[in-house]
Amino acid sequence: MQKNLVIVESPAKAKTIEKFLGNDFKVLSSYGHIRDLKKKEFSIDTESFVPKYEIPAEKTKLVNELKSQAKKADTVWLASDEDREGEAISWHLFEVLNLKAENTKRIVFHEITKPAILEAIENPRDIDLNLVNAQQARRVLDRIVGFKLSPVLWKKVKPALSAGRVQSVVVRLIVEREREIQNFKGEESYRITAVFTPQEGDTSTEIKAELNQRFKTKEEAMEFLEVCRNSEFRIQEITTRPQKRVPAAPFTTSTLQQEAAHKLNFTVAQTMMVAQRLYESGRITYMRTDSVNLSGLCIGASTKVITELMGEKYVKSRQYQTKSKGAQEAHEAIRPTYMDQAEIEGTPQERRLYDLIWKRTIASQMADAELEKTTIVISIGGQNAQFIATGQVVKFEGFLKVYRESYEEDQEQEDESRMLPPMQQGQILVRKEIMATQRFAQRPPRYNEASLVHKLEELGIGRPSTYATTISTIQQREYVVKSDKNGEECNYTILSLKNDEIEEQNKTLIVGAERGKLSPTDTGTVVNDFLLQFFPAIMDYKFTAEVEKKLDDVAEGVAEWSTVMKDFYDDFEPLVEKTLNVKSEHKVGERSLGLDPTCGKPVYVKIGRFGPVAQIGSADDTEKPRFAQLRKEQSIETITLEEALDLFKFPRNLGELEGHEVTIGAGRFGPYILHNKKYVSIPAGQDPMAITYEEAVNLLMEKRQAETKRHLKTFEEDPEVEVLDGRYGPYICYKGENYRMPKAQQEKASELTLEECMSIIQSQNNKPAKATKTKRTYTRKK
DNA sequence: CAGTGAGCGAGCTTCCGCTTGACTT
């Protein structure tokens, strides 16, 4: 007979807590929610908004175990997190496990330390049903939005699409940023920079300065340089003022994802996988949190470590305030469990992420950095404009000794360590060089994963546990693609005044090159515009924040959750009906391009069953319309009639080779050459319309060569067995199936005998079939 | 993991937020 059963959300937490509580306590985990709305059904009564719950199949075993353990226990302690979702988990457990109020206790703690847990045990309370109802309202609202809106898209745009309170707004952010970029007009200006020396001929000391104004045209810049030719440069003013910099708060999920992206080049999903492993091995606290709070234990330990490593003057204990909207602060900030461990064992990824977390936590408890910023104003003859030189000296590095927060991208970094030589007011400077550089205003940057998470947190959309999955969902639905973009060459002019000559140079620079940036697809854009037109309330960036406000009212007991639902539903549902009944001659997102000059039929582009297509002729015509898929780099927003008509010119016959036709086709992976049942992809840079017979044959021959090189060995006895060299090293191909070979045999793959090959095939055929691929949005690897 | 190359159709698809699991000998 077990005296006490404690149920928490996470198994790693259960393990830790069990150690603190001693033999009278058994600690189990619910692994998150144990019950949810039915997976495939709407599951909500639209009169009463009562939800229909079910225990998902994969949870039944666990629930049965919890049930039997609960039956055996004198007291059941529900210790899920202290937030809306956690409260609901406790309530579902109470209901499903048939617990009795008299021997069930609800406890909460924010940090996993022995004193915190013992204190929690001393102060149990009841389940807060208002908070539970707030969660049910949240769940029901999300289901209503998702399951009512998605079918509208299936009917109006394309099957299997989805919409939701979070994902649709995320796509909107990306679509709108893309439009900003498209509409951006880069205004040019001339930026003036100068290099001075204190004395003639002194080349060792340089003072770099920038003019406090820019010029719109080359003529104005030239005019200014002419003035400088004979001007006197005098130090008009020197000011020195102290500056302080304070360390950043400890990590939350969002800031960890951003910093790991900047400093370690991790994707958001990667960061979460590595953090999960660190958490499970007891190295760090919980990794899905919106709190910047640190336990007293951690602050104490940090102080000790900082004192030992760097000395007392580097210590400054601080507690941080959470700024982010809608934060629920059920956990601590993400920090090392043991601050005295500056390094850990583990994979390189684990060690690097841990290092980042350790440094950020330590820095957050360190002294401010003290800097001294010097500004020198340099006058130019009788001109109004002035040159400004700045220098910065670090007087006391403080927390910067350990950790420096990375800058928001595309923000120009100033040279922080730049020092200015000692100078005096009134001193005359000698000009060494003055340059006018043509600059173009920068277009706004596309989002990457990290900057998107930053924006979502700012808007209070999504939760720490969902940032990574949301990013993956919008890509799976093909609303958004992550891609690299090559920059464009940009020509610019530099005018330079050196000695007494003004020289003009033309230079080129690659601008706008991007890696891993998110941009919308045609589907994303069409769906966004459609939802924005018919459901502007849902698409409003403030929608989630307003919902949160109402949920808070429910949690505080000043509003009834079913009333909140009814108010929402009465506004929302008629819009769904209305939208479904809109009759239109044109499909959503369709764009007409004009008439095909050869047949006189209309040509248009739209989102088809398989994505963006061009179509000649309409469906109600007696003749069936013709379809052609748009190429990857084309968009229904920008494609021209000519480009669309070109798509119908495939397959294009180029001539014969060895008795077989050589044709150019357009497939789902891009344009290809087809010859005697062999396919060769046409490289991205080449125009499939312009490709000549000779070029096509060349590509075919190259592919043949690569093919023969790939075949390491074939056997006359059994032509179905081949040894091939693939992307992951040599492997065996037999009857269309591929078999990997053991490391030792890979070295001499081309010398394998048929018997050896067959035994490899045999040994792998005996192994059980590969696990079926799950449709998980992101999977973790061991 | 291992190199892909239709055709515009029957039935199915879908939300957000908690949390990780794992067929045998």
Per residue in A624-654, pLDDT tens? 888 888 888 889 989 999 988 888 887 788 8
* Token pair belonging to A406: 């990375």
C-alpha separations of A151 from A107, A143, A156, A646 in Å: 41, 12, 8, 34
Residue nearest to nucleotide B15 (CA to C1'): A146
Residue nearest to nucleotide B19 (CA to C1'): A32
A286 is catalytic: yes
From the CA of A664, how many Å to the C1' of B24? 51
Residue percentage of chain A with pLDDT more than 90: 66
Residues A127, A780: Cα–Cα separation, whole Å: 34
Residue nearest to nucleotide B4 (CA to C1'): A669
For residue range A596-619, list pLDDT tens digits in order. 998 888 998 999 888 888 999 887
Residue type, A22: G
From the CA of A547, how many Å to the C1' of B14? 21
From the CA of A587, how many Å to the C1' of B12? 22
* Token pair belonging to A760: 């490899």
Nearest nucleotide to A58, CA against C1' atoms: B21
For residue range A213-240, list pLDDT tens digits in order. 999 999 999 999 999 999 999 999 999 9
Rounded to an integer, the average pLDDT of A440-457 is 95
pLDDT at A320: 95
The overall average pLDDT reported for chain A is 89
Rounded to an integer, the average pLDDT of A259-281 is 95
From the CA of A150, how many Å to the C1' of B13? 9
Angle in degrees, 0-180, between the axes of helices A348-364 and A253-264, rounded to the nearest 10: 120
Residues A282, A530: Cα–Cα separation, whole Å: 47
Q: What is the dihedral of CA A423, A426, A430, A436, to 10 degrees?
A: 100
From the CA of A157, how many Å to the C1' of B10? 19
Cβ pair A497, A582 in contact under 8 A: no
Residue type, A281: S
Residue type, A116: A
Rounded to an integer, the average pLDDT of A162-169 is 97
For residue range A703-753, list pLDDT tens digits in order. 888 777 777 777 877 777 777 776 666 777 776 667 777 777 777 777 778
Nearest nucleotide to A83, CA against C1' atoms: B18
- Closest of A81, A75, A89 to residue A33, by C-alpha: A89
Decide if pLDDT at A188 tops 80.
yes
Which of strand B's nucleotides are less than 7 A from any protein C-beta? 1-9, 11-23
Nearest nucleotide to A740, CA against C1' atoms: B2
Answer positive or negative: Cα dihedral of A753, A756, A759, A765.
negative
From the CA of A605, how many Å to the C1' of B14? 26
Residue nearest to nucleotide B13 (CA to C1'): A160
From the CA of A557, how many Å to the C1' of B18? 23
- Quickly state the pLDDT bin for A187 (edges 50, 70, 90): very high
- Counted residue by residue, chain A has a size of 782
Nearest nucleotide to A160, CA against C1' atoms: B13
Residue nearest to nucleotide B23 (CA to C1'): A768
**What single-letter DSSP state applies at residue A248?**
P
Q: Of A286, A467, A604, A672, which is the active-site residue?
A: A286
pLDDT at A668: 64
Nearest nucleotide to A164, CA against C1' atoms: B15
Question: Long-range contacts: A671-677, Cβ < 8 Å, 24+?
Answer: A671/A631, A673/A699, A673/A700, A675/A700
Residue percentage of chain A with pLDDT more than 70: 95
For residue range A51-69, list pLDDT tens digits in order. 999 999 999 999 999 999 9
For residue range A297-351, list pLDDT tens digits in order. 999 999 999 999 999 999 999 999 988 878 888 899 999 999 999 999 999 999 9
Nearest nucleotide to A276, CA against C1' atoms: B20
From the CA of A556, how many Å to the C1' of B7? 56
Residue nearest to nucleotide B2 (CA to C1'): A726
* Token pair belonging to A557: 């007991």
Contacts of residue A766, defined as CB under 8 A and 6 or more positions apart, other chains included, come to: none
For residue range A344-373, list pLDDT tens digits in order. 999 999 999 999 999 999 999 999 999 999
- Quickly state the pLDDT bin for A781 (edges 50, 70, 90): very low
Decide if pLDDT at A516 tops 70.
yes
From the CA of A102, how many Å to the C1' of B5? 67
Cβ pair A84, A134 in contact under 8 A: yes
Nearest nucleotide to A778, CA against C1' atoms: B20
**What single-letter DSSP state applies at residue A444?**
P
Residue nearest to nucleotide B9 (CA to C1'): A609
Residues A765, A778: Cα–Cα separation, whole Å: 29
